[in-house]
């Protein structure tokens, strides 16, 4: 599926007004897509744009960036718009594209715009990748884990496998189980039923362990997903209390991707301002801003604690 097809599918899904069906654990593609949509809802709060013209909503700007990896900012009939388009043209000295191709039916506008002269391209990240490859990886793994978890839960209900030699005994066994499920006292009417019915033990001690492993697997996947996005969601593999030092081990890995995304947006905003005379700025927002402030504060504390204290002997010699 191309990036444009993926975006169109996303738009159709969020604008659908039909009543949704019950959650189908076997629909792995649909469930993975649902996880992706919910994560995109969260990442809408990553950045705070200020100074955007009314013709460029922050919501659409971020969707273009996060889903497609880049967006073109160009003027049409005196108004700035954020456009989806294709990159091409004769590469420059660093093999970067020089033409941005726009085809917007709503504006009846199509053109091959020169990058840096007629259009400014803002990248989501240094490699114009966007977040979708990462989201696909984690959402697909979580959907698989959920299906396995459902199967394990259903299998955990089976204590014995019951066999019956004929239809009469089978129907009596079904009636007996239904009475027990309904909370009624079951009764056996004949010795033939008891002699014909056989039960083979099915449950084993490993069933509970499988469920525990699947729960831990989902926690690991979700924590890793959040960590890659710069949110600290520690996953404790030790099943023990973590020390402060251990809980901070992954702090250094939280922000590099977010830093790159912020830098690309800020550089793009500066180019838009220079080309079109706007005053657009972008900063971190929500939990990402809080994390950055905490990291900066910890860094300042480390630097202050690392200053060497005055040597009393040196002070004495100076006197």
In a domain, 160, yes or no: yes
Same domain, 138 and 207: yes
How high is the mean pLDDT of the chain?
83
pLDDT of res. 182 = 79
Give the domain range for residue 267: 3-131+257-297
Q: Residues in the chain with pLDDT < 50?
A: 17, 19, 310, 315, 319
In a domain, 54, yes or no: yes
Where do we find the tokens 């995304």? 261
Same domain, 162 and 279: no
In a domain, 190, yes or no: yes
pLDDT of res. 6 = 64
In a domain, 47, yes or no: yes
The structure's pTM equals 0.77
In a domain, 27, yes or no: yes
């Amino acid at each position: 599926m191309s990036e444009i097809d993926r975006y169109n599918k996303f738009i159709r899904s969020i604008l659908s007004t039909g009543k949704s069906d019950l959650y189908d654990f076997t629909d792995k593609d649909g469930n993975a897509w649902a996880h992706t949509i919910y994560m995109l809802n969260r990442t809408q709060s990553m950045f705070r744009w200020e100074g955007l013209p009314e013709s460029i909503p922050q919501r659409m700007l971020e969707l273009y960036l996060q889903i497609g990896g880049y967006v073109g900012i160009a003027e049409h009939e005196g108004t700035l718009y954020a456009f989806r388009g294709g990159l091409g043209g004769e590469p420059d000295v660093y093999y970067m594209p020089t033409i941005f191709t726009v085809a917007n039916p709503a504006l009846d506008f199509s053109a091959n715009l020169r990058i840096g002269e007629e259009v400014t391209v803002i990248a989501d990240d240094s490699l114009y990748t966007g977040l979708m490859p990462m989201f696909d990886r984690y959402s697909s793994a979580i959907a698989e884990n959920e299906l396995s978890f459902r199967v394990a839960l259903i299998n955990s209900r089976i204590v014995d496998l019951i066999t019956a030699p004929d239809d009469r005994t089978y129907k009596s066994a079904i009636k007996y189980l239904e009475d027990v499920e309904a909370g009624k006292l079951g009764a056996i009417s004949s010795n033939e039923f008891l002699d014909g019915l056989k039960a083979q033990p099915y449950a084993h001690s490993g069933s509970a362990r499988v469920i525990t492993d699947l729960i831990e697997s989902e926690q690991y996947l979700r924590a890793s997903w959040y960590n890659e996005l710069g949110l600290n969601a520690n996953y404790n593999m030790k099943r023990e209390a973590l020390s402060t030092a251990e809980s901070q081990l992954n702090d250094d890995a939280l922000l590099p991707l977010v830093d790159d995304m912020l830098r690309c947006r800020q550089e793009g905003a500066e180019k838009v301002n220079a080309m079109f005379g706007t005053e657009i700025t972008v900063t971190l927002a929500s939990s990402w801003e809080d994390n950055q402030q905490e990291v900066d504060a910890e860094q300042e504390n480390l630097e202050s604690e690392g200053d060497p204290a005055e040597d009393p002997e040196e002070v004495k010699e100076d006197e």
